[in-house]
Structure 1
């Protein structure tokens, strides 16, 4: 159960899985769709998803080389969980939080030790634009 919670709790993994539900994607396409994800982070998460059997990497013998990532049957099953979360969110979390609650969810941690900032949670607070903090 702990592994499942960590997977669902990893924003990058969720965004990769959501993108791959649309069909096979190349690395650059994934990076463009997800936005604000470093090549290193995307590579790490794709390797993890591949090792877990959720994603398959297909290399084509072409010049220039072409690689696509797609969901396996196991990945499609995980995609159903993500879809259920999306439906739940639309039904139950569509109203913005009061501004006092927003402070807990939308402000980045004070530590500042992270080298990469995770995607903004601004949609929780009803804001459609991410903050410009780095």
Structure 2
């Protein structure tokens, strides 16, 4: 039996999704932004084990793939906030059952 093109496309997309969420801290960062936008320091305080360098790297990756939106707010003092795009919100909803499972079983 041969795979159809659409089956291969689905596997490719699933694999791409796992490549995003399997990176250390990605799910944790996404979950931290589910309820409301946060400044860099707020994300960092929620995840104290995460270094500033790694947080910067991961947020940039999430921004590049359209999961996180970075907004510079020009009020005084100038600040930057990060929020989830619709794509990010949908991914966060998909991660939530895993988060619930981890709280219960790990």
What is the TM-score normalised by the length of structure 1? 0.64
Name the SS of the counterpart of 1:57 in structure 2: strand
Question: For 1:41 and 1:51, how far apart are their aligned partners in 2?
Answer: 15
What is the TM-score normalised by the length of structure 2? 0.79
2:51 corresponds to 1:38: yes
Give the structure with the higher percent helix.
Answer: 2
5+ residue gaps, structure 2: 1-13
2:80 corresponds to 1:87: no
Instruction: State the number of aligned residues.
Output: 93
Q: Quick one: higher RCO (CA 8 Å, sep 6+), 1 or 2?
A: 2
Name the SS of the counterpart of 1:16 in structure 2: helix
5+ residue gaps, structure 1: 95-123, 125-134
Question: For 1:90 and 1:63, how far apart are their aligned partners in 2?
Answer: 39
Name the SS of the counterpart of 2:25 in structure 1: helix
1:108 match: none
1:23 match: 36
1:56 to 63, 69, 74: 69
Name the SS of the counterpart of 1:11 in structure 2: coil
Measured against aligned partners, the alpha-carbon deviations of 1:32-77 in whole angstroms (never above 9, x if no partner) come to 0011211111011111111111110010112321110001100000
Question: Cα RMSD (Å) of the superposition?
Answer: 1.5
- Aligned-residue offset at 1:90: 4.7
2:82 corresponds to 1:69: yes
1:78 match: 91
